[in-house]
Structure 1
Amino acid sequence: MGKADFLSPKAIANRIKSKGLQKLRWYCQMCQKQCRDENGFKCHCMSESHQRQLLLASEDPNKFMDYFSDEFKSDFLELLSRRFGTKRVHNNIVYNEYISDREHVHMNSTQWETLTDFTKWLGREGFCKVDETPKGWYVQYIDRDPETIRRQEEQARKKKQDLDDEERSAKFIEEQVRRGRDGKEPEVSAGGDGRGVFTVCTTFNTPCVRLGKGKTPPDKTFNAGKMEETSGGDTEEGDLSQDRQTYSRSDKKKKSALEEIIEMEERKKKKQQQVRTDYWLQPNIVVKVVTKRLGDRYHKKKAVVTEVRDKYAAVVKIIDSGDKLKLDQNHVETVIPAPGKRVLILNGPYRDTEAVLEGIDEKNFSATLTLDSGKEKGKRVDIAYEDFSKLA
């Protein structure tokens, strides 16, 4: 059995030694060969195969360096996203796991001299969020996968909708409790002996009286929901007028002017909340593209909404180039024209109403509009910036 045989002790020892990590200074990236010591690396550099690889690299050195840099960057980011996700982690921990693979691309063959330079480059290019601490540099991967972004936006929209539903439910329950406490309807019946029914109720602060076929006993009168004994009385009209006056006095004492104003404002806010929705796109309005994912060609360009799909998405036509895009409502914003131009109200109690822009209140982020359609045509209202947009 010769020394070069596969099952020889020398060959087995060499394979055992090659399994472990060796020093990076004795690794040749061009030939992808790891040497165990300085003598072996020197012999490899003098070999004919290594000299041929150097001749190939000398023809276009930037090409090989760019290739190795791209491989190192892609493998490093893949390990960071797969192993740690979007967690904040020390860059040296990620690098130690990366170099544990014997087939990895070494950093000394890339355009970066140190791990710190590579970490700073990741932050400048927007691949990761980086920050320096006394313990070193930390990296946090930024997931830019379109499917992940869509799923996050869907979860945020669902969470917002659930919160709106909970708020509406809580306010509805609070309103019901308040009505039950303040607007309780007393109702008293006197019957069972064939003489009829006498009922006193209050609805919308107005007393009403319902009489049966028979006559009420003259010795009974009903005041403020309780029955009191009287010394006498022969006419029903006197009792009814007395009851009506008693209920009017009790209602006036029950609610003051301030309470009525508060109740009116609550009903107004509730009405406005019922007509507001989390979608606002409408055809034939002008919008501005605010997303940067489409590049500088479309960023901050104005477009006209030609079609609305599934309430939250729209097909828009870029005014300058005429290109058609399908965008989500989170990727566009409303456009405020000059005073005197026509706009369309997109949300709130005046939704789908055309109006004319009269003035802009920059302090309150709103504008004064004059309604130009609908039942309240000619009325001046204050609408927030995001609730109206320029008509195409």
Structure 2
Amino acid sequence: MGKADFLSPKAISNRIKAKGLQKLRWYCQMCQKQCRDENGFKCHCMSESHQRQLLLASENPNQFMDYFSDEFKTDFLELIRRRFGTKRVHNNIVYNEYISHREHVHMNATQWETLTDFTKWLGREGFCKVDETPKGWYIQYIDRDPETIRRQEELERKKKQDLDDVERTAKFIEDQVRRGRESKEPEEEPVFTELKRESEEEKVAFSLGSSSSSIQSVILLSLFFSITPGPSALKATTSAKRKDQVHSTNPKEKKKKSALDEIMELEEQKKKSMKTDNWIRSDIVVKVVTKKLGEKYHKKKAIIREVRDKYTAVVKMIDSGDKLKLDQSHLETVIPAPGKKVMIVNGQYRDNEAILEGIDEKKFSATLTIDSGPMKGKMVEGVPYEDFSKMA
């Protein structure tokens, strides 16, 4: 009986049945022929072409097995390189994608009996990095392409060059500071002597404000008569000063600031001017404080991988590995244990690494020791919690 015509229902039915994968036990690797059922496979085994292929294979069986093994290995590695690259992936995922191609080389025609044996062989030969886990074997392709190796070497060389430039600049600054200290002449230390009055009748006068006339008179009397004012006199002068302040005739008159108060205000303004609105930076550990993302991320720690537009951070969650894009207001700094390294993110010593020495819980501040830059070794006290964070 001859074959059916191309457009006949029988031919169309045969093509539909032959489409896609068939059972492996009815596949002949030597002839590369797939049969649809047991009867077809039996007829194929009794055919003249199959017998001729068996005679050729029996003369040199190792040659055919090596050929199929090499084809299987080449196609398998090419699939990993194109589909997954250098990512770590389960070997069964790669194998299922490989056998989805109809014309693939079956493993029962190669030198490996199981997928585990083939995975171990890839690790021994250095084609992939393999590791066994409770979920099975994982493989990671090792790219030995000369162009890829050259790009990696150029990238490493550029990173090393940038690092050398930073170290060279830091060393130059340290040398400049050392030369400045050596060239500076040593200042004479002040000598403190005892205060002695030349004559007993000498008067000592102090010029104080008009509001403190009562205090001035008490001090003058005590110096003149060489007496010390008692607690009652001091109490009286203090109450008089308070009455003068309360019953001031001019309400618009402002109290004069002392030199100490002015110095303290200047120091506070100086500290505030050194602080900036944006404090986030890469490679530090932060805590997610927003509740809009749900309990999965609330109060969980993350690492800042990238900073965009000064106020937006791309973070990677430590426990789940998820990547999120968050605003600076949704994050806060993380305080590590004493002795750990931190990064100063705001204030006078911004962008300097430091070591956490201790924490003052009452003042919400900490004591740090600078560990990088020209100020290395300097101990800084009273650094607020929000001005430093744990390093990743």
| Superposition TM-score, scaled by structure 2 size | 0.45
| Superposition TM-score, scaled by structure 1 size | 0.45
Using CA pairs below 8 Å that are at least 6 residues apart, which structure has the higher relative contact order? 2
More strand by share: 1
